[in-house]
Amino acid sequence: MSGNLEITLKVWRQEAADSAGSFQTYQVSDVSPDSSFLEMLDQLNETLITEGKIPITFEHDCREGICGSCGFMINGQAHGPERGTTVCQLHMRSFKSGVTLVLEPWRAKAFPVLQDLLVDRAPMDRIQAAGGYCSTNVGNAPEANANLMGRKDASEAFLGAACIGCGACVASCKNASASLFTAAKIGQLALTPQGQPERAKRAARMVETMELEGFGACSNTYECEAACPKEIPVRFIQSMNREYLSAKLLDDEY
């Protein structure tokens, strides 16, 4: 007796950004429990192509949980039911045979649907471009001991740097807030010696760009933390608010 799975998918299909969308139902048979969720979608797409139908569009790249491009909702949960896991790292053994799964794209004003499960996450790139960097010269790596940094700050900065910009925090927030993403990018650099010269300017520019892009305010429900595949804590949002207030008080013509 085969241990493979039979899966029913209800997938959001939308031809283009300006087209009306709807859910379409598909049956996927003989799915290996060891395959990833994206491999299961690949299997379905191969069948659709063989039948002369249009395959399901979804974004992906590294398939190693690093790039953040693969995200969408699975039964109303960003990246699916497993905590701290991206869709590409989610395996079909997490589901029982015969289950019905509803797949839909991130739902947020700032993330317009381009096609099927693919959304435009460029607004997050613009937040990053507004100040999520250090203006330092490139070249040879500096001596590691030249800029001393305590272990506690280094660990916290690394935690913020783990953000992959997938957008799960936005899709899970009832206000479609990008506060956790923005806070992680601000926080990681605010803790490093290299990030100090542009600290106030960075916080002000990134927060105000986030607002201009149409993201909502923090809802304080902590759903972003629960949905984050890298489990970044909401305390970064608290730090971001302090950084932004300090920047405004300084009024440093950012």
Does the structure show a pLDDT above 80 at 209?
Answer: yes
Domains and their CATH numbers in the chain: 5-115 (3.10.20.30), 122-250 (1.10.1060.10)
Average pLDDT (82-106) is: 97
Does the structure show a pLDDT above 70 at 2?
Answer: no
Average pLDDT (56-70) is: 95
What does the pLDDT read at residue 67? 95
Instruction: Read off the pLDDT of residues 140-149 as tens digits, 9 standing for 90 and up.
Output: 877 777 778 8
Residue 251's pLDDT band, with cuts at 50, 70 and 90, is: confident
CA atoms lying within 13 Å on the CB side of residue 184: 24
Residues of 79-95 as b/e, b for ≥16 C-beta within 10 angstroms? Answer: bbebeebbbbbbbbeeb
Instruction: Read off the pLDDT of residues 187-201 as tens digits, 9 standing for 90 and up.
Output: 999 999 989 999 999
Average pLDDT (77-103) is: 97
Does the structure show a pLDDT above 60 at 10?
Answer: yes
Does the structure show a pLDDT above 60 at 253?
Answer: no
Does the structure show a pLDDT above 60 at 252?
Answer: no
Mean pLDDT score of the chain: 94
Residue 254's pLDDT band, with cuts at 50, 70 and 90, is: low
Residue 1's pLDDT band, with cuts at 50, 70 and 90, is: very low
What does the pLDDT read at residue 145? 76
Average pLDDT (222-245) is: 97
User: According to the 3-state scheme, what is the secondary structure of the chain?
Assistant: CCCCEEEEEEEEECCCCCCCCEEEEEEEEEECCCCEHHHHHHHHHHHHHHCCCCCCCCCCCCCCCCCCCCCCEECCEECCCCCCCCHHHCEHHHCCCCCEEEEECCCECCECEEECCEECCHHHHHHHHCCCCCCCCCCCCCCHHHCCCCHHHHHHHHHHHCCCCCCHHHHHCCCCECHHHHHHHHHHHHCCHHHCCCHHHHHHHHHHHHHHCCCECCCCCCHHHHHCCCCCCCHHHHHHHHHHHHHHHHCCCC
User: How far is CA 223 from each of CA 58, 102, 131, 158, 218, rounded to the nearest angstrom?
Assistant: 24, 20, 26, 22, 10
CA 198 to chain centre: 25
